[in-house]
Chain A
Amino acid sequence: MDITTFTSNKKFWIWGISLLAVLAALATLPQWLGSYYVILLKDILMLVLITVSWVIFSGPTGYMSLASAAFFGVGVYTSALLLPMTGAVLPLLLVIVIAGLVSFILGLLAGALTLRLKGIYFAVFTFGLVLLIQRFLLWFEMNITHTRGRFVLLVEDNTIFYVMLAIFVATLLTAYFIRRSKFGLALQSIGLNEEAAAHSGVNVTRVKVITFAISAVFMGAAGAIYATKLTYIDPYIAFNPLFSFLPVLMAIFGGLGSFYGPIIGAALFSYLQEFLKTEFPFQYMIIFGLLLMAVIVFMPRGLVGLVQRLLASLKEGPEEKSTPGWAIIFCLFGILGGLVGWFIFRERRGARVLLKAGGVVTLIGGAAYLLMFLLTLLGGLGGGYF
Chain B
Amino acid sequence: MLKVSKVNTFYDKAQALWDVSLNIDEAEIVALIGANGAGKTTLLNTISGLLRPASGSIEFMGQRIDGLPPHNIVDMGLSHIPEGRRLFTDMSVHENLEMGAYPSRAWKGRQETLERVYQSFPMLKERAGQLARTLSGGEQQMLAMGRGLMPKPKLCMFDEPSFGLAPMLVLEVFQVIQSLREQGITILLIEQNVRRTLEIADRAYVLENGRIVLEGSCKQLLQEDLVKKAYLGL
Q: Which residues of A contact B113 (CB under 8 A)?
A: none
Q: Which residues of B contact A185 (CB under 8 A)?
A: 95, 98-99, 102
Q: At the interface with chain A, which of B86-94, B191-199, B203-211, B220-228?
A: B86-94
Q: At the interface with chain A, which of B57-65, B67-75, B134-142, B161-169?
A: B67-75
Cβ contact within 8 Å between A200 and B151: yes
Cβ contact within 8 Å between A182 and B86: no
Cβ contact within 8 Å between A199 and B86: yes
Minimum Cβ distance to chain B for residue A141 (Å): 43
Minimum Cβ distance to chain B for residue A379 (Å): 23
Cβ contact within 8 Å between A198 and B71: yes
Binary interface profile of B, 118-153, with partner A (CB < 8 Å = 1, else 0)? Answer: 000000000000000000000000000001000100
Q: How far is the CA of A193 from the CA of B74 in the complex (A)?
A: 17
Minimum Cβ distance to chain A for residue B222 (Å): 32
Cβ contact within 8 Å between A199 and B74: yes
**Interface residue A26 (Cβ < 8 Å from any Cβ of B):** no
| Chain B, Cβ-Cβ closest to A195 | B86
Minimum Cβ distance to chain B for residue A255 (Å): 15
Minimum Cβ distance to chain A for residue B31 (Å): 21
Partner of B103, one of A189, A201, A204: A201
Minimum Cβ distance to chain A for residue B49 (Å): 8
Task: Name the residue in B91, B94, B102 with the highest tally of chain A Cβ atoms < 10 Å from its Cβ.
Answer: B102
Q: Which residues of A contact B87 (CB under 8 A)?
A: 193, 196
A167-200 interface (Cβ within 8 A of B): 182, 185-186, 188-189, 192-193, 195-200
Q: How far is the CA of A200 from the CA of B82 in the complex (A)?
A: 11
**Interface residue B34 (Cβ < 8 Å from any Cβ of A):** no
> Given A193-B88, A196-B87, A203–B69 Cβ distance below 8 Å?
yes
**Interface residue A1 (Cβ < 8 Å from any Cβ of B):** yes
Q: How far is the CA of A4 from the CA of B107 in the complex (A)?
A: 12
Cβ contact within 8 Å between B91 and A182: no
Minimum Cβ distance to chain A for residue B132 (Å): 9
Partner of B50, one of A182, A189, A192, A198: A198
**Interface residue A293 (Cβ < 8 Å from any Cβ of B):** no
Binary interface profile of B, 94-123, with partner A (CB < 8 Å = 1, else 0)? Answer: 110011101100110001000000000000
Q: How far is the CA of A4 from the CA of B82 in the complex (A)?
A: 28
Q: How far is the CA of A203 from the CA of B68 in the complex (A)?
A: 11
Minimum Cβ distance to chain B for residue A193 (Å): 5
Cβ contact within 8 Å between B88 and A2: no
* Total A-B residue contacts, Cβ distance less than 8 Å: 67
Cβ contact within 8 Å between B91 and A200: no
Cβ contact within 8 Å between A201 and B75: yes
Cβ contact within 8 Å between B88 and A188: yes
Cβ contact within 8 Å between A200 and B69: no
Q: Which residues of A contact B106 (CB under 8 A)?
A: 201
**Interface residue A202 (Cβ < 8 Å from any Cβ of B):** yes
Total count of chain B residues near the partner, CB < 8 A = 28
| Chain B, Cβ-Cβ closest to A206 | B71
Total count of chain A residues near the partner, CB < 8 A = 21
> Given A185-B95, A189-B99, A195-B86, A201–B74 Cβ distance below 8 Å?
yes
Minimum Cβ distance to chain A for residue B228 (Å): 35
A68-112 interface (Cβ within 8 A of B): none
Q: How far is the CA of A195 from the CA of B41 in the complex (A)?
A: 14
Q: How far is the CA of A192 from the CA of B92 in the complex (A)?
A: 12
Q: How far is the CA of A101 from the CA of B82 in the complex (A)?
A: 40
Q: How far is the CA of A203 from the CA of B103 in the complex (A)?
A: 10
Minimum Cβ distance to chain B for residue A238 (Å): 38
Task: Name the residue in B80, B98, B103, B107 with the highest tally of chain A Cβ atoms < 10 Å from its Cβ.
Answer: B98
**Interface residue B48 (Cβ < 8 Å from any Cβ of A):** yes
Q: Which residues of B contact A192 (CB under 8 A)?
A: 88-91
Q: How far is the CA of A202 from the CA of B107 in the complex (A)?
A: 12
| Chain A, Cβ-Cβ closest to B70 | A198
Minimum Cβ distance to chain A for residue B46 (Å): 14
Q: How far is the CA of A355 from the CA of B88 in the complex (A)?
A: 54
Q: How far is the CA of A185 from the CA of B69 in the complex (A)?
A: 20
Cβ contact within 8 Å between B74 and A195: no
Q: How far is the CA of A186 from the CA of B48 in the complex (A)?
A: 19
Task: Name the residue in B48, B71, B86, B90 with the highest tally of chain A Cβ atoms < 10 Å from its Cβ.
Answer: B71
Task: Name the residue in A186, A195, A199, A202 with the highest tally of chain B Cβ atoms < 10 Å from its Cβ.
Answer: A199
Cβ contact within 8 Å between A200 and B95: no
Q: How far is the CA of A110 from the CA of B115 in the complex (A)?
A: 42
Q: Which residues of B contact A (CB under 8 A)?
A: 48, 50, 69-71, 74-75, 79-80, 82, 86-91, 94-95, 98-100, 102-103, 106-107, 111, 147, 151
Give 13 A-B contacts (CB < 8 Å), ordered by A residue: A182-B107, A185-B98, A193-B89, A195-B50, A198-B50, A200-B74, A200-B99, A200-B151, A201-B70, A201-B75, A201-B102, A201-B103, A203-B69
Q: 4 closest pairs, A vs B, by CB?
A: A201-B74, A196-B86, A201-B103, A192-B88
With A193-B87, A203-B71 already in contact, 18 other A-B pairs whose C-beta atoms are closer than 8 Å? A1-B95, A4-B111, A182-B102, A188-B88, A195-B82, A196-B86, A196-B87, A197-B88, A198-B50, A199-B70, A199-B82, A200-B99, A200-B102, A201-B71, A201-B74, A201-B103, A201-B106, A202-B102
